[in-house]
Amino acid sequence: MKNAVKPERIGDSKLKAKLILFCLSLILTPQGFAQTSPAAAAAKNYRQTHEHEIMAEYVNLLSISNVASDTANIGRNANLIVQMLERRGVKTRLLEIPEAPPVVYGEILTPGATRTLIFYAHYDGQPVEPAKWVGGDPFKPMLRSAAIDAGGKDIPFPAKGEKFDPEWRLYARSTGDDKAPVIAICAALDALKANNIALNANIKFFFEGEEEAGSPHLEKIVEKYRDLLKADAWLICDGPVDQTRRQQIYFGARGVTGFEVTVYGPKRELHSGHYGNWAPNPALMLSKLLASMKDDDGRVLIKGYYDGIEPLSETEKRAFAEAPDNDALLKRELGLGWSEGGGKKLAELINLPSLNIRGFVSSSVGATARNVVPSTATASLDIRLVKGVDHVAAVDRVIAHIRAQGYHVVESDPDDATRLKYPKIAKVVRQGGYNASKTSMDLPISKAIIAAVESAHGKVILMPTLGGSVPLYIFTDNLKTPCIGIPIANHDNNQHSANENMRLQNLWDGIETMAALLTMK
């Protein structure tokens, strides 16, 4: 029996198999792909032994209020980020113009580098309503065992030496949008330094302080510092990963504009018994006006609303076809029995301009409701724009539609003479905005960035555009530089809302992503 295997050989084989599986488990990402980026692997190992330091720095940054209009605290945020970068050897400065929050700028120049990359994030956040936050204080970071709506409970931060569960969530304003990328970048720099891994490109950082206020000064800041901001690409570290939790890369962002419409009834509220059925009710009038703008499937009925849309390339069409169909999953998660779009997928619909009612006010409801005919009704609307549709022209089309419904359009409250002359009056107040932006997925730099991210996470989801809005046109159109988005936040992070949160595994994955990008060739 010369071919027989000795018993000890069988044991050796099993042991070797176990060792191989163990080693593989160390380099496999959560999606099951082997990491080929040494930098990402080093970042993962570094994070596993430095989670407490990373979380402490994260909590410290999140503890500072960061509404863009809060000048004092915005300054504190900027100064802290400067200190964080300088501790990593980054040469920093503040990019400033009058009456604008400063941009935190940093750079690491690499001798012999042939490529320059700029990492963009913002450190400001949306306004808060503390009463709507579980715990009450949006700037007191709270650790929870899971998402609140999934039964997550408050838990203490683990003692030093104890591990963080990757499914835990950290709750505070800007956990995901957008302080997480700042922390991920800093941790990635620490990991690279600890492992003596060199950068291959010149690296610059551009952390904005008023993105959530619409970036009203960004264009002027970029123009003032135009020479400083020369680069081969901007990496936009804002937004969520795919709903499947897989890493995605996006190559464009929708533009945005907003406006308010006020419709007028009597000069003062009237007793609904004495004047109902006689005095025009502005709440009903505005409801009908808004309903005339969209059909039951959500398609906008305003004349010319979809004119000018830039057609998708063949690469973009293929990317959409290959993207996961998350609609059924999202309907269950959000409790939706149906969705707009006439059967089209969410991924398809974000390539059309939207028209959204984001708020409606007329008199009072609930405990303060009164039996009156309201005097006014106001709706606040936003439009998300796609490439080829100008933000000013989009609102012009809405105003033309309002006029076509028989309304006299004004820009300020009407006087008595105007009220008596025109039966139906609508005040429209524009709120500014910016256009959509897009970068070709076929550019060499686009392919290089895809390869870098896939070296950390395996096959990623490619999206021609993101549903949200970032003023990327300033970089793509004004600076003529490609912009590519690499988000890290979880899709259910309650972005812009109360109880914003960050799933810890998303932060851990983000550190590896940033390490791979910082060292890309």
pLDDT tens column, 467-478: 888 889 999 999
Question: Residue 14 in 3-state DSSP?
Answer: helix
Burial 222-234 (b: 16+ CB within 10 A, else e): beebeeebebbbb
Question: Given a cut of 90, is residue 19 above it in pLDDT?
Answer: no
pLDDT tens column, 326-364: 899 899 989 999 999 998 888 889 899 999 999 999 999
End-to-end CA distance of the chain: 56
How much is the pLDDT for 34?
A: 75
Average pLDDT rounded to a whole number, residues 484-509: 96
How much is the pLDDT for 54?
A: 98
Tokens of 47: 């994070």
Percent of the chain with pLDDT over 90: 86
How much is the pLDDT for 470?
A: 82
Q: How far apart are CA 387 and CA 63, in angstroms?
A: 37
Average pLDDT rounded to a whole number, residues 37-63: 97
Average pLDDT rounded to a whole number, residues 117-142: 96
Average pLDDT rounded to a whole number, residues 387-395: 96
Question: Given a cut of 90, is residue 182 above it in pLDDT?
Answer: yes
Reported as a pLDDT band with limits 50, 70 and 90, residue 320 is confident
Reported as a pLDDT band with limits 50, 70 and 90, residue 98 is very high
Average pLDDT rounded to a whole number, residues 434-439: 94
Average pLDDT rounded to a whole number, residues 233-247: 94
pLDDT tens column, 451-472: 999 999 999 999 999 888 888 9
Question: Given a cut of 70, is residue 11 above it in pLDDT?
Answer: no
Average pLDDT rounded to a whole number, residues 19-47: 67
Reported as a pLDDT band with limits 50, 70 and 90, residue 21 is very low
DSSP string, 247-264: -EEESEEEEEEEEEEEEE
Reported as a pLDDT band with limits 50, 70 and 90, residue 304 is very high
How much is the pLDDT for 58?
A: 98
- Could you give the dihedral angle defined by the CA atoms of residues 266, 268, 272 and 276, in that order, rounded to the nearest 10 degrees? -10
Report the alpha-carbon angle 187-499-185, nearest 5: 15
pLDDT tens column, 126-136: 999 999 999 99
Average pLDDT rounded to a whole number, residues 208-214: 92
Q: How far apart are CA 29 and CA 20, in angstroms?
A: 16
How much is the pLDDT for 22?
A: 38
How much is the pLDDT for 347?
A: 85
Question: Given a cut of 70, is residue 123 above it in pLDDT?
Answer: yes
Tokens of 469: 């809005």
How much is the pLDDT for 468?
A: 82
Strands 169-171 and 142-144 turn out to be: antiparallel
Helices (H), 370-458: 391-404, 416-421, 444-457
Bridge partner residues of 271 (DSSP): 372
DSSP string, 416-437: HHHHHH-SSEEEEEEEEEE--E
How much is the pLDDT for 8?
A: 35
How much is the pLDDT for 32?
A: 55
The shares of helix, strand and coil residues in the chain, as percent rounded to the nearest 5, are: 35, 20, 40
How much is the pLDDT for 20?
A: 36
Sign of CA dihedral 63, 67, 72, 76: positive
CB 479 within 8 A of CB 153: no
How much is the pLDDT for 33?
A: 64
Average pLDDT rounded to a whole number, residues 256-281: 97
The residue whose two tokens read 């980054």 is 90
- Which regions of 166-285 does DSSP assign to beta strands (E)? 169-171, 202-208, 233-236, 248-250, 252-264, 270-271
Tokens of 68: 């863009």
Cβ contacts of 432 within 8 Å, gap of 6 or more? 214, 216, 257, 258
CB 65 within 8 A of CB 127: no
The residue whose two tokens read 């065992």 is 145
Tokens of 84: 């964080």
CB 182 within 8 A of CB 61: yes
